[in-house]
Structures are given as structure tokens and as C-alpha cells.
Amino acid sequence: MTADLLAGLTAVLQWEVLLFLAVGVVLGAVFGSLPGLTATMGVAVLTPLTFWVSAEQGLAMLLGIYCGAIPAGGIPAILINVPGTPASIATSWDGYALSQKGQAGLALGINALLSAVGQLTSIFFLAVAAFPIASFALRFGPAEYFGLALFGISLMAGVSGERVIKGMLAGMLGLGIATVGLDPMTAYPRYTFGQSEFLDGISFVPVMIGLFGLAEVLIQISDRWGKLDQAPSKLGRIWPAWMEWKRMLPSTFTGAGIGTFVGAVPAAGGDIGSVIAWEQARRLSRNKEAFGKGSLEGLAASCSSCNGAIGGAMTTMLTLGIPGDAVSAVLIGALLIHGIQPGPLLFRDHRAFVFSIVFLMAFASVVMMVVGLLGAKPLARALRIPSPWLWAGIVMFGAIGSYALNNAVVDVWAMFVAGVVGFLLRKADVPLGPLVLGLILGPMMESNLRRALILSRGDWLGTLTSSSIVVFFMVATILSLLLPLLKKRRAG
Amino acid sequence: MLSRMLGQGTKRRFAVQALAAAVLLFAVSCSHGDGPYPSKELKLIVQASPGGISDTVSRFMGSLIEKDLGVPVVCENKPGASGALAFSYVARRAPDGYTLGHASIEIAIVRTLGYADVGPDNMGLICLVSKTPAVLVVREDAPWNSFGGFIAAAGKQRGGLILAHSGTGSIWHFNALLMEQAADIRVTYVPYGGTSRSLASLLGGHVDAVIAGTGEAIANVKAGRLKALAVLDESRSQLYPETPTSYELGYDFGAPAWSGFFAPAGVPDAILERLEKAFRKGFASSEWARLCRERGMEAVFMGRKEFREFALQEAAFFGREIPRLLTLER
Amino acid sequence: MSRPESRVRSRTDLVVGGLFLVLGVYLTVSATALPADSGGLPGAGFFPRIIGLVTVLLSSALLLKALRGSSASAFVLSHGRVIGGVVGLTFVYLLLWGTGFFTLRTFVFLVLFLRFLVQSWRASLTVAAVLTAAIAAAFQYGLRVSLE
């Protein structure tokens, strides 16, 4: 064990490997922080380049991109309310509010520090408990996925703030958009209007770029036009005070834990994990009202959970050979090129290599933390450039990035329509958080409910109470729907 | 003569230089248009997302033929509608040999599924480079130790066993339907979005069996977590030397997935021949053999004539069988 | 709270509720064309129907609430002309997607975009040039995306 640990460490403690790692982290930071470029895209584009270098060097670069992109996605979320990657949607809720209060520095600092905490926690889990986590992930059958999706959808009310009915309607819109395309079970085309471009449905990432990129630009024009000469908001201090650390601690670690487990479950990633962690932190907090208005606990939960998902996804990928999210799916391909077959045997036959991966990820998260802390000031200063320049950049990168995903013009139009509709919805005070939940969770809920019903052979109730995980999610769903009502009654 | 002219006045020298530059430019632009093929970058359209097996095959082959053709080969992913979007995109390009596509087995299927009116008959097929057969896997603690045992159990309780595959209309789904038909059994299907998800549900004990590509299941088979009951092909797989094939066991079915390359219809045969030569050279390299071994593909080569015949046969087979198999499921 | 203001507020929710009601009815009606079940289990039309019905219910609730005047949202579209211009300009740019001269087209779009947002000619030209170069470097040369 110790010998493997040392062998794994020495394999990565070479200057070429560390150089590749640093290059990867910086590239990842670029991919993550530009709306329109995602972590998946970065890893996918650079995978072919790693054909020609050693496994450690190639992986150093790819893992660097992965570990750099997710924290970097929080930077534009905090500074301009435009999440750089889908995983940082929840980061924008409190992060942007903080930076509007003149605490952009603190928000960027927390993002850098707690992203690293989230990553390191999940990497620690990967190193010591890979197989228990993997077997937990495997227990997710159709009924469990349905429970998870249902629970996620029950959070729609929670992330809607005061506007519960409109939030739920936005959620329904998300669920509706998600039904476009071939039916996941019978491959029957739905709402495709005979166009083969719609058979695979409306791509999620362009819609997200539209809702949070283009729509945000329009909102800012509407709110700030004619007032652009106002002094730019202050940066403030970067390092959190001791009291703030103490306040953030519980939500950081529950966030990292939730992120790790949700990330480990195949087909659920940091985007879902961070919304769940944010909502859990809100429920457990003594200061619920501050959530969404610049709560440090909320920011801590979202930063640590979307990064915790990295270690979780890697755990499932390495132990089972099954990707935990979109990035790890591409990473499997990269590993196979180097003759490394992820799966149970990897931990028996190539233990040193597994430790190499653990060390590479740990180094990458520390490097990214330093990059994030050092970059906070210059990045915040970059905001002093005139807003119209920034808006032009967001619209441009959003449009081209949407196209670059699948080289499909239909995705660009999806971005545009989502942007205009998202702007109008936000102007009408309809929250967009539930819409995103509906988009992500709709397909998961529908296909797994129908799978579960096939497996149930008529015994529907039995299936939905068959395992402790399902029962847990069902109870949690009912509680999350009932508790607000009970509280209202008690208050009224 | 040129040197004597250069000796005279600056104005004249400038004019001559400009003329020379123009001639040079013209020559260069001519060589772009009419020079020996290929004279500029080739585009290779991949019908799937980055990172998958089609993408790996295309990028790898692309980099191998680059060496022989002497021009860059740039891969572009256009996923969607089982590949129909990419196939019809390539079909619409100019037939100049500068836009190629990766031909997965879906090229012989999408017309039958109604996704796009394209098929091997209106393509300039170049070559086939690999095949991936299907394998039937169960958990290691499953009560069946052989394909016969599985078939017997599935025959006894019709629809009692649950089989997961990578999606309705996918090639692994059709392999399962062919199995039902050949062995006269009925199983209950649970479609998943992709093979890795179906394997996860098998490992987790939620379904009884999975039909997947040989390469996708191998990690867990080697680790002893899954048992391979049969490879659904005519000849044995290098990855599963111990596992019998469906044909050996007396069930004549099995539709392996395959990978090839194609150009739009109407590309001159000389250019197709040049491309086939480049691909053949890439195919013969040790790198290609290594990739096939590591990704669980069988390295098989067919030239353009043979591939055309084969693909037309496949299209005819699926065009005939799919409508029938899908009614069988109901 | 003054009277006219509260009327504006409930009108916003009336419009939102009305539009979602239309969406819900559309989803419910169009879902009837999809098979409701397959082999005794929910089919392709099952989920769209549920989503449609729930949308109808929720939007009716919103409409009722708005009619009773107890809503708290106001749709104030300030600077509508600027927003309309930006949306229109982007729309035209996207409409010309794939017609060739990508770099030139993008540069012209960016200059017009920035000029429209009252940036000086110098700033518009410089920023447009820098952004166009960045896009070309990142996507055309970095990611090898073919943009025409």
C-alpha cells in the first residue's frame, strides 16, 4: 500500500508532468470562465493531443482542465451573473449578490478556497472509500433515480423564493422543453415538427447560455442603461474572517459530501448536486432569508458541492469504468488510448496509477486555488472596462460557443430564443432556477419512472418502497413539500 | 532576361517584382485548384460526440492518413439523430473529396428508422476499418453459466427475464431482438440512454442481462463481475477467446457494429482510390492494431467495392428486418 | 400602494398566467396525438399530458390570484428601444450564419453592436477587432470549428 502510494507520487513528481498539469489548469480556467466554452469541450478537444505523450503527462493536462474549469466557472457567475459552466448556476445566486454589495473579492476568495476544499474532500473520499461509494452509486436503479429526480423537482418551490406559483410554472416550462425529441423509452418523436435536428431534443448547454448569458446582458441593459457611469463596485477583502469561516463550515462539508455522492451517481453531476446542496444549506441555516441575497453559507455550499462532484464522478469512472458525468465520459476514452482500462481491475493491478491520479487531482486543485486567489484582483479589475464591451463579448462567445458544441446552427437559435424568453420571464418576475431544474431532471424523472414501472411488473407501490434510498427520497420529497406549508400555518 | 531587366530603374524593378509576385500567387492558387489530389485540408465529419468510440476511430484514423496524404485532416463532430444529421450533411457537400464522413452502422439504418433519406446507395463509400460484435453478459452470481441455460430460462418464463440495452433503435437493441427471434424466446426490455448506463444497471442488480459491445463490457468481465455468455457473431472475438459465438451454438444471428469512412456520392473514382490507399496504409500500422485491441474492436478491412456491397447488404437486411422485429416486440 | 400601480402589477401576472395557460392547453391537446401507453405502461404521451395538465392548473391558480389583485410583480420594460435594437441586431447576425465571410461579418456586427450602445468609433473599431481576433483564435484555430 505504502509502496504503491510512493510509486504513484514519484510518477507524478516530474517536472514535465507538473508542467502539463499547470498548463491544463490554466487552460481549464480559460475554458471554465468563458461562457460558451465548457469543461467537457476543453477535455474533449485536448484528448487527441494526449495520444502522443505519456499517460501521466496526458492525464495531468486533462485532469488539470477538469479541476481548473469547474472553480473558474464560478468567477463570471460571481462577477457578471453569467455562470461559466452549468455546474456554477447556484454559485451565481449568492455570489453575484455579494459582488453587488461590494464584496466581490470575498466571493471570489470563497469560490477559490472552498472549491479547493470541495475537490480535496471528494478526492480524499476517492482515495479511501472508492469502492463503498461505487457500490452506493450502483444501488441507483430506476426507482432510485426517479426518487432523486422527484426530490430535485420538489426543490423547485424552494429555489423560487417568494414567487412559488411562477417558479413552478417555470419548472413546468423546463420539463416541457425537455420532452422535445425522441421519447427515451419507445423512440417515438415528440414535438419535433418533422425536423431531424430536434430528434435528440433541445441541447441543454445552449439553452443555459441563453438563459444566463444573453438574458443577463438584456437585463443589465434594461436596468443600468443611462447609469453606466456609476463608480464600479468595490472589490473588498478576499480572505474570509474567522467568524465567516466558522459560519460556512457546516454548509461547506455537507456541500462537499452531497456533491461527492451526487457526482458518483452516473447521469447526475455537479449541476444537480450544487442546487441540492444549496437548498439543503438553506433549510438547515438559521439565516434562511439571506439565501439568494448574498449568503456566505449558500455560496459555500454551491462552491464546495459542484467541485465535490468531480471526485465523485471520477470514483465511479475509475472503479466501474462507467462515467459519472460528461467530462469523465471523455476521460475514459483518453485512458483507453493509453492502454488503461478503468474498472475494478484498475485498483488491483494498477494501484500506483490510481494514486497518481489522486495526486494529480489534488495538485490540480491546489494550483487552481492559488490561481483563483491571485487572479481575484486582476479579474475584478477587468470589470472596470465599459459594460457594452463586456456585453458584446458575452453575446459573441455565447453564440459561437453554442454552435461549437455540436456544430449545429439549431443550437445557436436555441440560445437566442432562450435568451429572449429568459429576459422576458425575468422581467415578469418569474424565477429561472426551477426552469433549469426541470430541464436537467425532466428526462431523468420520466425515463426512470417508466423503467421502474417496467421492472415493477404491476407492483408499483412495491417498487417505490423497495429500497431504503427510494424511501429516503420519497420522505424527503414529501417533507420538502409539506414543511413550508406547516410553517406558514404556524406563523399565520 | 529577367536579371537584365532587374538591372534597370527602381520603378521598373517594382513592376517586375509585382508581376513576379502575381505569377507566383496565380501558380499557388492553381495548384490549390487543379493540382494532384489532395492539395488542401480534408474535413472528416464524425456522427457522434467527442470522446466516444466513433470519435476516437475518426481522430486516430485521421491522424494516420494525414501522414500519407500530406495534408491536415480536421475532425468535426455533428452528433444527432443516430448520425442522420452528419450523414445527410456530408451527402450534401461538394463531391470533391475534401469532405469525408465516418460511417457507423447507423448509415445502413437511419433511412429505415425514418430519420433521414440517406443510405449506402447514395454515398461514395471508401472503406471499412473495424467491426465490434455484441456480447450477452450477466452478473457473475447469475444462475446461468451458459448461453443455453439463459435461453432455456428465458424460454420457460416468457418475458420473465429483463434485458437492458443502450436505447430503442440502437444496434444492441436489434441484436437482442434478433436473439429473441432466433431462439424463440421473449424477454422484457429496459432501454437506457447509452451502454454504460445499461451496464451500471446490470452491475447494480436491477436487470438480469445486457447486450453491449464487446469492448464496453470487457473491464467488468475480466474483473469477474460479469459473465459473458455468448458473442453474437460468426467468429470468435480476440477479447473473449473463451466465449462461444452464437453461430457456434447453433443460433445463426448477430449484427456487429462497424466503422468505416465515406464521401459524398459523385466523388471521382480516382480520388476514392487514393483515399482507400491512404486508409489501407493507416489500417496496416501497428498503432491501429493497438487501438483496436484496446478499444475491443476487430480490425477488419474492406476496400471500396467490397464495403459497398457489404453496406448495401446490411441496409437491405435492416430495411427488411427492423419493421418486422419492432412489431415482434409489441 | 397607489391604485394604478397595483393594477399594473396584477396585469403582469395576468399576462404571465394567460401565456402559460395557452402553453398548458397546447401541451395537453397536442399530447393526445402521442400514444398514451405502450404495452399497458405509460407511453410517449403520458408525461407531456401530465406536464400540460399541471401547467393548466398552476396558471389558473396564478390567474385567479392576479384577478384578486394579490400579486406582487411588475413588468417594467425600461429602455425597450435599446433592448429591441440589441435583440434585432443579434437576430440579423444569426440569420446570416453560414453565408461566408465569417470574420468580416462578425467584425461588422460587433462594430454596429458597440456603436448602437453609444461607444465611440475608435472604441468600437478597436474592441470589435480584438474580439473578432479572440473568437478566431479560440474557435477557428484553437478548437478547429469551421465557421463560414
Count H helices and E strands in chain B, helices first.
12, 11
Check whether residue C55 and residue C87 sit in a common domain: no
Q: Which residues of C touch A183 (CB under 8 A)?
A: 34, 43-44
Average pLDDT score over residue span B15-39? 54
Compute the count of residue pairs across chains A and B with CB atoms less than 8 Å apart.
135
Closest CA relative to residue A5, chosen from A310, A357, A361: A357
As a whole-number percent, the residues of chain C with pLDDT over 70 amount to 90
Residue B129: other Cβ atoms inside 10 A: 27
Query: Which chain B residue has its CA at the smallest distance from C145's CA?
Result: B76
Q: Which residues of A touch B205 (CB under 8 A)?
A: 138, 141
Q: Looking at C68, C94, C111, which one is the last position of a domain?
A: C68
Peptide bond into C35 cis (omega under 30): no
User: Total domain count for chain A?
Assistant: 1
> How many Å apart are CA B16 and CA C138, to the nearest integer?
40
> What grid cell was written down for B43?
474535413
DSSP state of B142: S
Q: What angle do CA C84, C86, C91 make, to 5 degrees?
A: 90
Average pLDDT score over residue span A186-190? 87
Looking only at the bridges linking them, the beta strands covering B188-191 and B162-165 are parallel
| Alpha-carbon distance values, B106 to A160, B75, B295, C12 (Å) | 43, 19, 19, 49
Q: What angle do CA A207, A213, A214 make, to 5 degrees?
A: 85
Q: Which residues of A touch B200 (CB under 8 A)?
A: 137-138, 140, 266, 320, 322
Check whether residue C15 and residue C56 sit in a common domain: yes
Check whether residue C62 and residue C86 sit in a common domain: no
> Shortest Cα distance from A303 to chain B (angstroms)?
27
What's the pLDDT tens digit per position in A62-111?
999 999 999 999 999 999 899 998 899 999 999 999 988 889 999 999 99
> Shortest Cα distance from B62 to chain C (angstroms)?
14
Model confidence at A490, in pLDDT bands (50, 70, 90)?
A: low
Query: For residues B196 and B164, is the Cβ–Cβ distance under 8 A?
Result: no
What's the pLDDT tens digit per position in A223-281?
888 777 665 667 788 899 999 999 999 999 999 999 999 999 887 888 889 999 999 89
> How many Å apart are CA A295 and CA A288, to the nearest integer?
9
Query: For residues A445 and A234, is the Cβ–Cβ distance under 8 A?
Result: no
What's the pLDDT tens digit per position in B260-295?
999 999 999 999 999 999 999 999 999 899 888 888
Residues 6+ apart with CB under 8 A from A44: A330, B49, B50, B51, B55
Q: Which residues of A touch C143 (CB under 8 A)?
A: 41, 45, 404
Average pLDDT score over residue span B3-29? 46
- Structural domain boundaries, residue C44: 3-68
> Shortest Cα distance from B190 to chain A (angstroms)?
6
Residue C148 lies in a domain: no
Closest CA relative to residue B162, chosen from B96, B109, B231, B210: B210
Closest CA relative to residue A326, chosen from A162, A35, A147, A87: A87
Closest CA relative to residue A243, chosen from A176, A296, A169, A291: A296
Residue C51: other Cβ atoms inside 10 A: 26
H/E element holding A190?
strand A189-190
Check whether residue C25 and residue C61 sit in a common domain: yes
Model confidence at C125, in pLDDT bands (50, 70, 90)?
A: very high
Q: Quote the pLDDT of residue B25.
A: 45
Average pLDDT score over residue span B244-255? 93
Least confident of A54-58, B264-268, B282-286, C67-71: C67-71
pTM: 0.88
Model confidence at C34, in pLDDT bands (50, 70, 90)?
A: confident
Q: Looking at C20, C41, C68, which one is the last position of a domain?
A: C68
Q: Which residues of B touch A320 (CB under 8 A)?
A: 200, 203, 220
What's the pLDDT tens digit per position in B230-242?
999 999 998 899 9
Query: A284: number of CA atoms within 13 Å, CB side?
Result: 18
Closest CA relative to residue B160, chosen from B209, B232, B230, B231: B209
ipTM: 0.92
Average pLDDT score over residue span B283-311? 91
Residue of C39, C144, C146 with shortest CB distance to B330: C39
Distance between first and last Cα of chain B: 86
Query: Which chain B residue has its CA at the smallest distance from A185's CA?
Result: B191
Residue A104: other Cβ atoms inside 10 A: 26
Check whether residue C51 and residue C28 sit in a common domain: yes
> How many Å apart are CA A443 and CA A203, to the nearest integer?
12
What's the pLDDT tens digit per position in B113-170?
888 888 899 899 999 999 999 999 999 999 999 999 999 999 888 888 999 999 888 9
A3: amino acid identity, one letter: A
Do the Cβ atoms of C144 and B330 come within 8 Å?
Answer: no
Burial B136-155 (b: 16+ CB within 10 A, else e): bbbbeebebeebbebbebbe
Query: For residues B187 and B162, is the Cβ–Cβ distance under 8 A?
Result: yes
Q: Quote the pLDDT of residue B105.
A: 93
Check whether residue C7 and residue C63 sit in a common domain: yes
Phi and psi at residue A157, in whole multiples of 5°?
Answer: -60, -40
Query: Which chain B residue has its CA at the smallest distance from A449's CA?
Result: B190
Look at residue C9 and tell me whether its pLDDT is greater than 70.
no
User: Total domain count for chain C?
Assistant: 2
Do the Cβ atoms of C23 and A183 come within 8 Å?
Answer: no
Q: Quote the pLDDT of residue A249.
A: 93
Do the Cβ atoms of B76 and C39 come within 8 Å?
Answer: no
> How many Å apart are CA C127 and CA A124, to the nearest integer?
45
Check whether residue C17 and residue C48 sit in a common domain: yes
Mean of per-residue pLDDT scores for chain B: 86
Q: Which residue has the higher pLDDT, A349 or A489?
A: A349
Look at residue B53 and tell me whether its pLDDT is greater than 50.
yes
Do the Cβ atoms of C42 and A453 come within 8 Å?
Answer: yes
Residue C147 lies in a domain: no
> What grid cell was written down for C106?
462578425
Look at residue C7 and tell me whether its pLDDT is greater than 60.
no
Model confidence at C148, in pLDDT bands (50, 70, 90)?
A: confident
Q: Looking at C45, C68, C91, which one is the last position of a domain?
A: C68
Tabulate helix, strand, coil % of chain A (nearest 5): 80, 0, 20
Q: Quote the pLDDT of residue B325.
A: 83
Which of helix, strand or coil describes residue B13? helix
> Shortest Cα distance from A214 to chain C (angstroms)?
9
